[in-house]
A and B are shown apart, each in its own frame.
Chain A
Amino acid sequence: QKEVEQDPGPLSVPEGAIVSLNCTYSNSAFQYFMWYRQYSRKGPELLMYTYSSGNKEDGRFTAQVDKSSKYISLFIRDSQPSDSATYLCAMSSVAGGTSYGKLTFGQGTILTVHP
């Protein structure tokens, strides 16, 4: 079993739809959670960063963490064609200092928002 499971999709939605992207994990030590967006042939860019459980909102994006269920989600409201990309979840159990800071990534979900 992989430490982090992410539905690879592809996911195709019409413009304006609400998109839900999800990851499940097995390591209960994870407490830092990230979502990255990666456009084709580009490096991943950090979209959302959350610590421990709860919700975080940034514009049209909401990141949700449920540590009791070992489940994280990214919601995109009013999706736009420019949101078409691969979305990667990532998580870590440590942060800061000179620690290794390993991130464990999901396989990525390919999202297409069509006009």
Chain B
Amino acid sequence: SQTIHQWPATLVQPVGSPLSLECTVEGTSNPNLYWYRQAAGRGLQLLFYSVGIGQISSEVPQNLSASRPQDRQFILSSKKLLLSDSGFYLCAWRGLAVRAEQYFGPGTRLTVT
């Protein structure tokens, strides 16, 4: 069965510090991978998606970047965090079968102080 991991689970970082969040998927090959941010009481905002190694697409311009160094690894980064980067960050994957659903990881709660 497939499993998706995210770490760290929680993070408190000062403004201007760098960020690196990691997501890995087990039990599947060549998944589509997604990074979302969820602000308190709001829906999910898609940040980045990747259909393969080194292939990253950005949905919205912002202070963040993403990389996919391996097939089942997806990293979200920032060189300098802003207060507005606080939120709940979710990684998700989708397989290549003819289905549309995505499966989410446990999330990382980021607080920028």
Contact = CB atoms under 8 A, between A and B. Distances in A.
Nearest to B57: A100
Contacts, number: 68
Given A106-B43, A107-B42, A46 B103 contact: yes
**A-side binding surface: helix, strand, loop or mixed?**
loop
B96 A98 contact: yes
Interface string A88-108: 101010111110111101111
B100 A103 contact: yes
A42 B106 contact: yes
Interface residues of A, number: 27
Contact of B44 (A92, A97, A100, A105): A105
A45 B107 CA distance: 12
A90 to B, nearest CB: 8
A37 to B, nearest CB: 11
